[in-house]
Amino acid sequence: MRTPVYARMAVIGCGLIGSSLVRAVREAGAAGEIVIAETSAAARERIEALGLADRVTADAADAVRDADLVVFAVPVMSMEAAARAAAPGLMPGATVTDVGSVKGHVADALAAACPDSVFVVPGHPIAGTEQSGPDAGFAELFQNRWTILTPLARDDGPYREAVARLALLWTAIGARVEEMDARHHDLVLAITSHLPHLIAYNIVGTAADLEGVAEAEVMKYSAGGFRDFTRIAASDPTMWRDVFLTNKDAVLEVLGRFTEDLQALSRAIRWGEGDKLFELFSRTREIRRGIVAMGQESAEPNFGRDRGKH
Ligand code: NAP
């Protein structure tokens, strides 16, 4: 019998990420008891039917009572309201974390909403799919993926212990854990995740509006690169709206750089500068090989197609 890392885990919001977490924690025996709070009645019904938790409730304050770990797994802009709803029930000494894709905004929101008696340790698992809801989750989602913890600016012993214990939970479910400053996380993710999603949303939108090319043709011949963008562009609209609005500065910064580089590419095409194109395409191929070498992707064409998003 494994010793649980936490006696009682409360998860607020049980969609793709929340339900994957409870499945993984259950399987690993990493929490003694699991309680879920969900605002959506339809989702609560599904969670009950899937048997994901020991208890399911609509009341966040009730869910977090006596929990030594509380995880907020709601869209980024709903974090503060969810934390305010839960706050009256939070147990002193509990660890409060989240799985939000943007960390600066969420760290501020959680710190503002939670009492000083709890340990706020924001986090972000770099794993996901374009699906939503409790049916979409699966226990293996975090295996061999990174979870980034962005601790607040405090280094007292009890706080560090809370961070270490949370890291233990993530490793118990197969994730690799790294600590990072929240603002730096937001800049890194702006280029590795947020900008790629923006490009996907934009290219699919452009194709849909393109005069002279029928929508049926776009779908029929989508294998030529476009299909991979459509998968990313099928991601949850609420989640991604929130990401762009709350990571505005970092996204605009990398978008500026991207636009400059795109202009340079457009110039190279116009002036027939094949050597420039060849040099860039060779460098980018090396980056792909580096990702495969780091075990974050396989060289097989479709491996992990839907496990690497965040
Ligand atoms: P999701 O599947 O849409 O699930 C979110 C769930 O939270 C929904 O069931 C939603 O219910 C519920 N909810 C919303 N506000 C709530 C509240 N105040 N109290 C309780 N429940 C509430 O979304 P997800 O993909 O799991 O994303 C959750 C978080 O994980 C987001 O912050 C996202 O940035 C982050 N994340 C996502 C991915 C990914 O690839 N999807 C990866 C890493 C991290 P309703 O439907 O009724 O609103």
CATH at 195: 1.10.3660.10
Task: Decide: 101 in ligand 1 pocket, CB within 6 A.
Answer: yes
2: confidence class by pLDDT, cuts 50, 70, 90: confident
Is the same domain home to 134 and 281? no
Tracing tokens 């969810």 back to the chain, one arrives at 82
Is the same domain home to 13 and 130? yes
Check whether 305 has a pLDDT greater than 50.
Answer: no
Tokens of 137: 């989750």
Weakest mean pLDDT among 10-24, 110-124, 279-293 = 279-293
Strands 55-57 and 95-98: unpaired
Is the same domain home to 226 and 131? no
Phi, psi of 132 (to 5 degrees): -135, 165
What is the predicted pLDDT for the residue at 183?
A: 97
Which of 17, 59, 192, 246 for a ligand 1 pocket mutation test, highest count of atoms within 8 Å of Cβ? 17
Task: Decide: 148 in ligand 1 pocket, CB within 6 A.
Answer: no
pTM of the model: 0.93
Is the same domain home to 98 and 57? yes
Domain closes at, from 125, 153, 180: 180
How many angstroms is it from 239 CA to the middle of ligand 1? 7
Number of domains, the chain:
2
Residue 7's SS3 state is strand
Domain closes at, from 180, 205, 226: 180
Which of 22, 44, 74 for a ligand 1 pocket mutation test, highest count of atoms within 8 Å of Cβ? 74
Is the same domain home to 84 and 138? yes
Mean of per-residue pLDDT scores for the chain = 93
Pairwise CA distance, residues 223 & 239, whole Å: 27
303: confidence class by pLDDT, cuts 50, 70, 90: very low
Distance set, CA 235 to CA 76, 157, 273 (Å):
15, 40, 36
Task: Decide: 40 in ligand 1 pocket, CB within 6 A.
Answer: yes
How many angstroms is it from 204 CA to the middle of ligand 1? 24
Condensed to tens digits (0 to 9), the pLDDT of residues 45-74 reads 999 999 999 999 999 999 999 999 999 999
How many CA atoms within 13 Å lie on the side-chain side of 303? 8
Residue 170's SS3 state is helix
Condensed to tens digits (0 to 9), the pLDDT of residues 234-256 reads 999 999 999 999 999 999 999 99
Is the same domain home to 10 and 48? yes
Pairwise CA distance, residues 209 & 231, whole Å: 18
Is the same domain home to 115 and 240? no
Task: Decide: 75 in ligand 1 pocket, CB within 6 A.
Answer: yes
**For 142-160, what is the mean pLDDT?**
96
Is the same domain home to 209 and 252? yes
Is the same domain home to 168 and 22? yes
Q: Which residue range forms the structural domain that includes residue 95?
A: 6-180
Whether 81 maps to a domain, the answer reads yes
Check whether 307 has a pLDDT greater than 70.
Answer: no
Burial class (CB in 10 A: 0-12, 13-18, 19+), 301: exposed
Task: Decide: 106 in ligand 1 pocket, CB within 6 A.
Answer: no
Domain closes at, from 180, 196, 221: 180
Q: Report angle CA 104, 106, 111 to the nearest 5 degrees.
A: 100
What is the predicted pLDDT for the residue at 213?
A: 80
Q: Report the nearest atom of ligand 1 relative to the CA of 85.
A: 18
Tokens of 185: 């996380």
Check whether 302 has a pLDDT greater than 50.
Answer: no
Q: Domain with 23 in it: what CATH number?
A: 3.40.50.720
Task: Decide: 81 in ligand 1 pocket, CB within 6 A.
Answer: yes
Whether 238 maps to a domain, the answer reads yes
